[in-house]
Structure 1
Amino acid sequence: MFSRILIPTDGSWLSSLAVEKGLEFARDANASVTIITVTEPFHIITAEPEQIRGTRDDYEKYARMEAAKSLTNAELKAKQLGVLHQSVQVESDEPFQAIIDAAEQNNCDLIMMASHGRRGIGALLLGSVTLKVLTHSKIPVLVYR
């Protein structure tokens, strides 16, 4: 039924579980996977503590390192399960839109993601990325809780 699945990850505990379940689903469906992580650009005024601990360079280095770690962990799981995969890291002020765009650009027929990640206070103020993907995506979304 599904042949190309997009799995977003932010490295959080629940997101990592969703990656694992998504990869198992892809294996069982004989589908390929695109794993994506979206980092947000540095902002001087923010609700995200990672962005106010240091300089722009410090934040960008930290964000790239965390994104690479999340993608590497997901890639290792995909290899262990024998799932054909690719991974992408994108920077965007609107992670939900970057997820939807990546799904469309990669001809994905399913987005499988965690119900929430590590957005903390920002999620409370702005709404969760998952909710926005559910609201705006024309591609089916399977949410892991």
Structure 2
Amino acid sequence: MYRNILIATDGSSLAARAVEHGTNLAKALGATVLLLTVTERFHLFAIESDQLEETPSSFREHMQRQADHTLEEAAEIARNLGVEARTLHMEDDAPYRAIIRTAEDNVCDVIVMASHGRGGVSALLLGSETMKVLHHSNIPVLVVR
């Protein structure tokens, strides 16, 4: 059924449950796993507090460290379940687009993601990335609550 599974994670505890669920599914089906995290680009005018005191290079370094940490935790979950997983960090102002594009480019059969993630002010203004993926994706989406 599913041979290539994309699992999107933002490093939150709920996303970790989605990673565990998705890797268990992959193990049961003998599928491959691609773990993806998407970080936003630096914006000169931003409402996110983590961008207010940063320069573009320090913000990029901070986000890279955060992405590396997020992907390492997700890869560890997969390793503990005996599932080999590739990892990928993307930078995009619209994470849902990066998730869908990555799933399409990697010929994924299903996208696994948490029902909601970190959120913050941008999530309140823009809505849930999961809802956007559900709305725009032609690939099936498995939402983990």
- The bucket for the TM-score relative to the shorter chain is over 0.9
Q: How many residues align?
A: 145
Provide structure 1 residue ranges, at least 5 long, that are not aligned to the other structure: none
TM-score (norm 2): 0.95
- 1:96 is matched with 96
Q: Identity over the aligned pairs, expressed in percent? A: 48
Instruction: Please give the root-mean-square deviation of Cα atoms over the aligned residues, in Å.
Output: 1.1
Q: Secondary structure at the match of 1:112?
A: strand
Q: Which amino acid aligns with 1:107?
A: V
**8 A Cα contact 1:33 1:85, kept in partner:** yes
Deviation at 1:20, TM superposition (A): 1.2
Alignment of 1:68 with 2:68, yes or no, is: yes
TM-score (norm 1): 0.95
Q: Which amino acid aligns with 1:61?
A: E
**8 A Cα contact 1:48 1:119, kept in partner:** no
- 1:115 is matched with 115
Alignment of 1:82 with 2:82, yes or no, is: yes
- 1:23 is matched with 23
CA distance in 2, matches of 1:31, 1:53: 43
Q: Secondary structure at the match of 1:5?
A: strand
Structure 1 stretches of at least 4 aligned residues deviating more than 3 Å after TM superposition: none
Q: Secondary structure at the match of 1:135?
A: helix
CA distance in 2, matches of 1:27, 1:73: 18
